[in-house]
Amino acid sequence: MDDAEKTNGHVIDRDKLHGDFPTQFQEPAFWEELGRTVAAFGFIEGELAKAIYALTGVKEFDPKGDPEAFNAWIKTLEKALTDQLGALIMTYDKALTENPRTKEHDFSRLIAELKEAKEIRNALCHGSWGKPDDQGRTVPKFVRRGLQIFETPVDVAFFKQTRAALREIICDILDSVTMVGYKFPGSDSPGEQLWPDPATLTVV
């Protein structure tokens, strides 16, 4: 192709980009707080998986006499290891509902708080961060299903407030297992341990 026939296009000069592109507009403290908050959400996912293990593992069945039921439980545990927060909340809610020891307790508030936290988590993890306003706040560009737009300005104070709420949720998840008499998997909590600690299991 002759030069005259080439499109008069352009490419980005990578050498002129800011060293921290595309995160150069917020202060380092903002990104640290975001990272800590995202890590807290990840911790919740891990604790939900352990709670599901404890709450569903008390069902009595004979692995040899009823292999289908046993295999179904194993599938539940496998999903708990791979599911993200939304699916984990649904499985956890089902585990609470079906466990005979939880009938005396109302976990509806905890489930509602988890679902609300999930929406914040999705915006923080998947949103696109633009320039902050003059108060250091940024509204991440994130649209939920149903075309619902996340409109909350986010700053360092927002992250700290969110983590404070997440700490309460984490404790409530642990309590949902220990308050009905079970040992929380992977912890030194008191309570009944009906299955080997998952941390000690060897995968062959």
User: 104-145 pLDDT, tens per residue?
Assistant: 999 999 999 999 999 999 999 999 999 999 999 999 999 987
How far is Cα 50 from Cα 80, in angstroms, rounded to an integer?
A: 8
Evaluate the omega torsion of the peptide bond into residue 67 and state whether it is cis, within 30 degrees of 0: no
Which residues, other chains included, contact 84 with Cβ-Cβ below 8 Å and sequence gap of 6+?
45
Which of 93, 90, 103 is closest to 180 using CA atoms?
103
Quick check: helix, strand or coil at residue 141? strand
**Which residues, 6+ apart, have CB-to-CB distance to 129 below 8 Å?**
22, 23, 25, 26, 138, 140, 141
> Taking the domains of the chain in order of start, what are their residue ranges?
26-178
Q: What is the pTM of this model?
A: 0.83
Q: What is the pLDDT of residues 77-107, one digit of tens each?
A: 899 999 999 999 999 999 999 998 999 999 9
Q: Quote the pLDDT of residue 203.
A: 46
Three-state DSSP string of 65-86: CCHHHHHHHHHHHHHHHHCCHH
Please give the pLDDT value at position 1.
47
